[in-house]
Amino acid sequence: MFHHAAGGYAGQGTLCGSVGACSAIINLVAKDEDKTHNQMIKDLVNWYASYNHPTDEFDSIVKFPGQKRVVPGSPLCHVSVSTWAVANDIEIATYERKDRCAKVAGRVAMQTVMMLNDYADGKFTPIAPPVSDATETCLECHGPDGDNNSQGQMACGLCHTHKEDHAE
């Protein structure tokens, strides 16, 4: 059902496929009157972006244990893979990189199961850190409570360079 999600959906580098696939499962299980599924998916996305990937928890069964870990700062496949590849000086068309992404997918599935278990026990609470101070500042003017002309909570600086004077 989620074969297409690999490589950020058919190799297009958009949302990390493991986040997308697990979000669909969260939607199936936790879409309730409080829209808990959206709180959970938001938390999964923020957790993913702030997590130091890949985990070493599966090192006993992987081909490349002890890989250097990198916080992607983004849920986007391209950003997540390439910040890691550059930091490790590893090309993306390698088994090392596939191993890294397999660990990421496994860890995202694990995170999702833990969240769903908490939901089933009626005790789900978000654990991911809130947006950074820098992003918070941008959102004061551009977010839903400001001009409401930018979507989401990704780290703005990944794509925009802040013009010091533009907000004066």
Copy the structure tokens of residue 135: 């992003």
Binding segment for ligand HEC (CB under 6 A), chosen from 26-34, 38-46, 122-130, 142-150, is: 142-150
125 binds ligand HEC (CB under 6 A): no
- Owner of token pair 């397999």: 102
Copy the structure tokens of residue 55: 């985990």
Min CB(47)–ligand HEC separation in Å: 17
Instruction: Give the closest residue to 37 by CA, choosing from 48, 25, 46.
Output: 25
167 binds ligand HEC (CB under 6 A): yes
150 binds ligand HEC (CB under 6 A): yes
Min CB(168)–ligand HEC separation in Å: 7
Q: Which long-range contacts (CB under 8 A, 24 or more apart) does 33-39 make?
A: 36/119, 36/124, 39/124, 39/126
160 binds ligand HEC (CB under 6 A): yes
Contact 99/64 with Cβ under 8 angstroms?
yes
Nearer to ligand HEC, 108 or 139 (CB): 139
Min CB(167)–ligand HEC separation in Å: 3
Nearer to ligand HEC, 18 or 135 (CB): 135
Nearer to ligand HEC, 24 or 158 (CB): 158
Min CB(104)–ligand HEC separation in Å: 19
141 binds ligand HEC (CB under 6 A): yes
Q: Rounded to the nearest 5 degrees, what angle is found at the Cα of 10, between the Cα atoms of 56 and 85?
A: 40
CA distance 16 to 37: 18
Q: Could you say which of 55, 142, 144, 148 contacts ligand HEC (CB under 6 A)?
A: 142
Q: Which residues contact 107 (CB under 8 A, 6 or more apart)?
A: 51, 53, 54, 55, 57, 58
Q: What is the CA radius of gyration of the chain?
A: 17
Contact set with ligand HEC (CB under 6 A): 134-135, 137-142, 149-150, 153-154, 156, 158-160, 162-163, 166-167
